[in-house]
Structure 1
């Protein structure tokens, strides 16, 4: 299924596995690349040495293209860009809009730049700065999210920019891929759907929580780090929602200390990242430290299997998923279903006045 995305990146299918923190490691990315889709390695929770190891691990297992997701506002973003260039990574994916300078460095080195955005104006900005494609996520998507649904946001972005657009938020099968292509997108990206595959490193007990979820079991809260975050309802989310300012501050300090130990970051760097994550607003020390809540609360569930002390980022499609295919099965089924819908009998519409 050839599209501008497959031509640009060199993959066989217009599907993207998003860079989910603690989830999108070498095993999942390798399986995605081998299946012919674009796998994105999540790097925000990795140290620089661990990121280099992870990149080399994927490269040792497949020669297919893959990408690495970066925090554009991270203090060491420039060092991570250097690493991608040195290691010959095909795609640099960004969770926030990267600077013009970072885009320029990557493009000069032959690395494709695909930022993720949640608004038309952000897509226009990165396109103007030279981004090769843009991934646009509607409010249905898991993790940090906006307020505009994919069905409204995606066609707006497609009309606004002249680079390939990848739709995300609410997709989990071939019907979603076909819909994204019909909106004018060059492909579809999925997070929760790839999380719920056999190659995903998420503990089985946590996967079971996702599979049992209904659409109404997915909610949005600002109590993790102050930003809207879509996740599964749980006792932990309820506790976060009801906690007061002192409890939130103590939790933020504890998680910040744990995140510092995990990543090797300094306190000063974490505070700068916390401020950058919130777009430079005038914030208290506690509010900036809250930025460390997200990775550590996610790690508790996604790595340690502790759903009682962690949170589970989830797109609304979690309520529609009830199986755990291999990545190869998922990609093949999505592409076959989309192709059948776009070219098969189900796609044929009788014109007005034509005998049935």
Structure 2
């Protein structure tokens, strides 16, 4: 296969891969810049980016805004010719201010999921920042396009489709997660393309669809490109790189993971999530023993009186390598990850496999 460029508005990536945003602190400016320097699109996670900044305990809200601006600026300095994006979940309490901060910092593109980002177009108005909602079905893609068209006279600059094999939070029911035949990524790509076609016709332009969730190698990328996607989103494999911002212990959890270690949890976010089972998860979900919770008020759907643990605290601990007090999200194919490589080595390997597709 001839490797296509990934075009999103006036942005052109020579490598048709978007590195998925991974929080807390797994994809920050270090990883995003390394990916962008290789011609793909690097993405900073907008979930609690200030967790390791001075002042986080005293003023979490402002520290997160400052940290997001810092990481965008740093990534742009490290990758001056690259494309830098940020992933900001609609479920976080400071969603609007985080978006405004990212726009002010001149981030190239904002990806937004874990809810419906209906106000996103007005938050980036009169800026050069592109916006791409994250969806799990044609129905959701159609709903967002319909609302953005009606209320903002705007279409998504791109759409990220995350299938049922993705890591982290998932937009599927437990039954759907167990039915990979009917909810395969290739089928979902075709479904989304069909759903957005009327809007593309109305506006006279294509909306690039980037598909992710269980993408492991060049063949997987080739499959979604052949189905009509403009590119692929990949997250799990970028954890096993030297440049990933996670601790060595977090990366080692990926290398050690076996296929039956991957489990679906019920997250305080209110969505199912795919993670690597460990003693922390066993303790929380099997015994359902409530942990000591110091709520940091990060998520709209989370009720600290009912939740078994603070997910932000668990993910921060995991990022730092304290996996006895947290856990690692990961995609369904994490068991196939067996070594740490550089971002350059990984992308070269993927592109060589894609050429042979």
TM range, normalised to the smaller chain? 0.7 to 0.9
Where 2:15 maps in the other structure, the secondary structure is: coil
Structure 1 residue aligned with 2:85: 67
* Structure number, greater radius of gyration: 1
Contact 2:186 2:223 in 1 (8 A): no
Contact 1:6 1:14 in 2 (8 A): no
Matched, 1:24 2:24: no
2:258 counterpart (196, 207, 214): 214
Task: Report deviation, 1:71.
Answer: 2.0
**CA distance in 2: counterparts of 1:285 and 1:235, whole angstroms:** 22
Gaps of 5+ in 2: 50-63, 149-154, 178-182, 198-206
Give deviations 1:104-124, integer Å, cap 9, x for gaps: 332531211111112222111
Structure 1 residue aligned with 2:107: 89
Where 2:241 maps in the other structure, the secondary structure is: coil
**CA distance in 1: counterparts of 2:333 and 2:220, whole angstroms:** 11
Where 1:66 maps in the other structure, the secondary structure is: strand
Task: Report deviation, 1:170.
Answer: 0.8
Structure 2 residue aligned with 1:348: none
Task: Report deviation, 1:177.
Answer: 1.0
Structure 1 residue aligned with 2:221: 177
Contact 2:114 2:169 in 1 (8 A): no
TM-score (norm 1): 0.81
TM-score (norm 2): 0.81
Gaps of 5+ in 1: 261-266, 278-283, 342-356
Structure 2 residue aligned with 1:338: 354
Give deviations 1:77-130, integer Å, cap 9, x for gaps: 222222222221110111235544322332531211111112222111223312
Structure 2 residue aligned with 1:325: 341
Contact 1:98 1:126 in 2 (8 A): yes
**CA distance in 1: counterparts of 2:261 and 2:193, whole angstroms:** 31
Aligned residues between the structures: 313
Matches within 5 A, 1:1-12: 1-5=3-7, 9-12=11-14
Contact 1:67 1:92 in 2 (8 A): yes
1:301 counterpart (290, 311, 318): 318
**CA distance in 1: counterparts of 2:326 and 2:226, whole angstroms:** 38
**CA distance in 1: counterparts of 2:116 and 2:280, whole angstroms:** 33
CA distance 1:182–1:192, change in 2 (3 Å): same
2:37 counterpart (34, 48, 59): 34
Task: Report deviation, 1:223.
Answer: 5.7
CA distance 1:195–1:285, change in 2 (3 Å): closer
Where 2:92 maps in the other structure, the secondary structure is: coil
**CA distance in 1: counterparts of 2:244 and 2:95, whole angstroms:** 26
1:190 counterpart (214, 234, 237): 234
CA distance 1:6–1:338, change in 2 (3 Å): farther
Structure 2 residue aligned with 1:281: none
Matched, 1:235 2:297: no
Where 1:185 maps in the other structure, the secondary structure is: coil
1:58 counterpart (51, 75, 83): 75
**CA distance in 2: counterparts of 1:222 and 1:97, whole angstroms:** 16
Contact 1:107 1:113 in 2 (8 A): no
Structure 2 residue aligned with 1:274: 300
